[in-house]
Amino acid sequence: MPGPSSLYMVIDQGGHASRAVIFNQQRQIVSMKSVAVVTLRRDTGCVEHDAEALIASIQGAIEGAVVTLGNRAGDIVSTGVATQRSSIVCWHKGSGVALSPVISWQDRRTAAAIHAYADQSEAIHRLTGLMLSPHYGATKMQWCLDNLPNVQQAFRDDKLCCGPLSSFILFRIVKERPFVVDPANASRTLLWNYHTADWEPELLQLFDVPINILPRCVPNRYDYGHITIRSRAIPVTVATGDQSAALFAFGKPETDTTYINMGTGAFLQRPVGSGPVAANNLLSSVVWQSPDETVFVLEGTVNGAGSALQQFAAGTGTSEQNIYKNIEKYLASISAPPLFLNGISGLGSPFWAPDFQSGFIGAGGQTERVVAVLESIVFLIAANLDEMTSVAGPSKILMVSGGLSAVDGLCQRLADLTDVRVKRPQLKEATAHGAAYLLSGITGTAVPATNFQPAPIQALQQRYQKWLIEMKRNMPGVRI
C-alpha cells in the first residue's frame, strides 16, 4: 500500500529523448534522468528511430534516475509508461528483437498509398474518430509487411508482433512480456474502433492487417506486469500516449478549457466528457480508460510547430539556437511579416492535406520569415480552435504547455488572435506530471502561472484571414 514515503516512476518516451521521472507523494520530482534519442530523417518522408537504441535509452534513463535515489529506490511503488502515439514497431514474438525501425508518428512514407482509401474516409472517421492520414499506424504496418524481409519471415513463422511503440516497450521492459495495447495508443492506428474499444474487423480487412500480429486491447489502467528495480518487482499499472498524459498534468481536465501542448508538433485537446463527440475536421479520441471512467476529447493536430522552426533553420543554414535566443526580440519588432503556408510534416487538422507544399507569401528577410513561421503556428492553432468552438462552444481558457509555450510573444499573439485568455503554468515535463497523476491520483500542489490577457489587434486578425484564404487556395487539387 502507498504510504507517506511512496514514490512513483514515469517512463516518458518522446521523439528527442527517453526520460525516467520519479515523483513523491506531493507529486514533486525527486529524481530524473534523460537519455537522448536519435531521429533519422530522409528526403522520402521517412522518419525513424533505431528500435534497439530506443530500448537502451529507456533502460539507461531508468538506471540513471534510480541511482540518484540511492536507498530511496525501495520506496518506488508503481510505474507508468507514456509514449509517442502513432509510432509503430515490428518485433519477434520469441526473442523480442526488433524487426523494423520505430517508424515515427512524423513519418509520411505512405502518403501516396493512403489515397487508395479515400473513398472509405468517412467510414474510417466514423469508426475511429480519425481522419485518413499517413501519420497513423495502419499503412505503416502494411509497408513493413510488404517491404521488410525479416518481418515477412516472422509472419510466415507465426512469430510476428506488430503494434504501437508502447506495446513494444512494454514487451521489452516488463518481466511478463505482455502483448497488449492501451486505448490512447491503439486509437492512433486507424484500426481501432473507439465505440467498441477494440480492433475493428472491417478496418483490418480494408488495410489487410492480420489480427494475429496485433496486441490485445486493454484499458489504460491495467495490471501490465512488473519491471525489476534493484531486485524488486515494481508493478506497471498505467500505459498511455504522451499527449494523452499531458492533458492530466494539472489534475482532472476541465470541459471549458482547451489544452495545447506545443513541442515538435502542437496538439490541442478539448475534453467533452464520457462519450464521443463527432466533428468533421477534427479527431475524436479516447484519452483515458479505466474500469471506472472513460474520457473523450476533441483533438486537433498541428504537425509543423517546433519542427517548422527546425526545418526553417536547417534550410537557411541558421542556428536553431540563435533563432530561439532572439525570438522574443523578433516578435516584438516585426509587426507586418509575410505569410507562411505551413505544411511541415504534412498538413494536419482542420485541413488534412498530407501533400501540402509549404511556402512564403510576401516580401521579407530572414528575421521577418522567422516571425512568419511562428505566426503560422498560431494561425494553425486558431483554425483548430475555430472548429472546436463550432462543435463544443467557446473555451474560457487556453492552457498551454511544452517547449514553444515558453515564448511569451507567441502566447500573447495566440491570446490576441483568439480573444481568449492564455494560461501558462510554470510546470515542465507535462507528460510526466500527467502520467504521475494517473498513476497516483495525487493532484499535487498548485503551481504559479503566467496569464496572457487578450488585446485584439486588427492587423493580426487581417493577416489570419488572408492566411486562411491562401491556405485554401493552395490546397492540392484546388484550381482558382
Q: Domain for residue 435, yes or no?
A: no
Nearest 5°: phi and psi at 457?
-120, 120
Give the 3-state secondary structure of residue 475. Answer: coil
Q: Domain for residue 479, yes or no?
A: no
pLDDT of residue 43: 82
Give the 3-state secondary structure of residue 340. Answer: strand
Can you tell me the distance from the alpha carbon of 338 to that of 358, in angstroms, rounded to the nearest whole number?
13
Residue after which a domain boundary falls, among 242, 274, 295: 242
pLDDT of residue 83: 96
Give the 3-state secondary structure of residue 18. Answer: strand
pLDDT of residue 477: 67
Same domain, 196 and 224: yes
Amino acid of residue 146: D
Can you tell me the distance from the alpha carbon of 310 to that of 476, in angstroms, rounded to the nearest whole number?
24
Residue after which a domain boundary falls, among 224, 242, 260: 242
pLDDT of residue 201: 98
Same domain, 363 and 417: yes
Q: Report the Cα–Cα distance between both ends of the chain, in Å, rounded.
A: 66
β-bridge partners, 300: 268
Grid-cell match 502513432, residue found: 86
Give the 3-state secondary structure of residue 440. Answer: helix
Beta-carbon contacts of 71 under 8 Å, excluding residues fewer than 6 positions away, are none
- Cell numbers representing residue 41 in the block: 530523417
Same domain, 314 and 386: yes
Q: DSSP class of residue 404?
A: G
Q: Domain for residue 55, yes or no?
A: yes
Give the closest residue to 169 by CA, choosing from 279, 249, 285, 52.
Answer: 52
Same domain, 340 and 255: yes
Q: DSSP class of residue 276?
A: -
pTM above 0.85, yes or no: yes
Question: CA separation (Å) from 253 to 250, 411, 443?
Answer: 7, 20, 11
Same domain, 173 and 258: no
Q: How many CA atoms lie within 13 A of 323 on its CB side?
A: 23
Same domain, 204 and 261: no
Q: Domain for residue 109, yes or no?
A: yes
Grid-cell match 474499444, residue found: 197
Can you tell me the distance from the alpha carbon of 191 to that of 174, in angstroms, rounded to the nearest whole number?
25
Same domain, 283 and 230: no
Q: DSSP class of residue 271?
A: E
Asked whether the beta carbons of 227 and 176 are under 8 A apart, the reply is no
Give the 3-state secondary structure of residue 19. Answer: strand
Distance of alpha carbon 469 from its chain centroid, rounded? 28
Q: Domain for residue 437, yes or no?
A: no
Task: Give the pLDDT of the chain (480 residues) as one tens digit per residue.
Answer: 677 899 999 999 998 899 999 999 988 999 999 999 999 998 888 999 999 999 999 999 999 999 999 889 999 999 999 999 999 999 999 999 999 999 998 898 998 899 899 999 999 999 999 999 898 999 999 999 999 999 999 999 999 999 999 999 999 999 999 999 999 999 999 999 999 999 999 999 999 999 999 999 999 999 999 999 988 999 999 999 998 998 999 888 999 999 998 988 899 999 997 777 888 899 998 999 998 889 999 999 999 999 999 999 999 988 889 999 999 999 999 999 999 999 998 899 999 888 899 999 999 999 999 999 999 999 999 999 999 999 999 999 999 998 899 999 999 999 999 999 999 998 888 899 999 999 998 877 678 899 999 998 999 999 999 999 999 999 986 543
Q: Domain for residue 269, yes or no?
A: yes
Range of the domain at 89: 7-242
295: domain CATH number? 3.30.420.40
Residue after which a domain boundary falls, among 196, 219, 242: 242
pLDDT of residue 1: 60
Asked whether the beta carbons of 12 and 432 are under 8 A apart, the reply is yes
**Number of domains present in the structure of the chain:** 2
Same domain, 272 and 238: no
Give the closest residue to 189 by CA, choosing from 259, 96, 89.
Answer: 89
- The DSSP code sequence of 417-445 is HHTSEEEEES-S-HHHHHHHHHHH-----
Nearest 5°: phi and psi at 366?
-65, -40
Same domain, 259 and 237: no
Same domain, 332 and 363: yes
Q: Domain for residue 150, yes or no?
A: yes
Helices (H), 196-347: 201-207, 242-246, 306-316, 320-333
Same domain, 315 and 335: yes
Q: How many CA atoms lie within 13 A of 464 on its CB side?
A: 22
Same domain, 193 and 290: no
Q: Domain for residue 348, yes or no?
A: yes
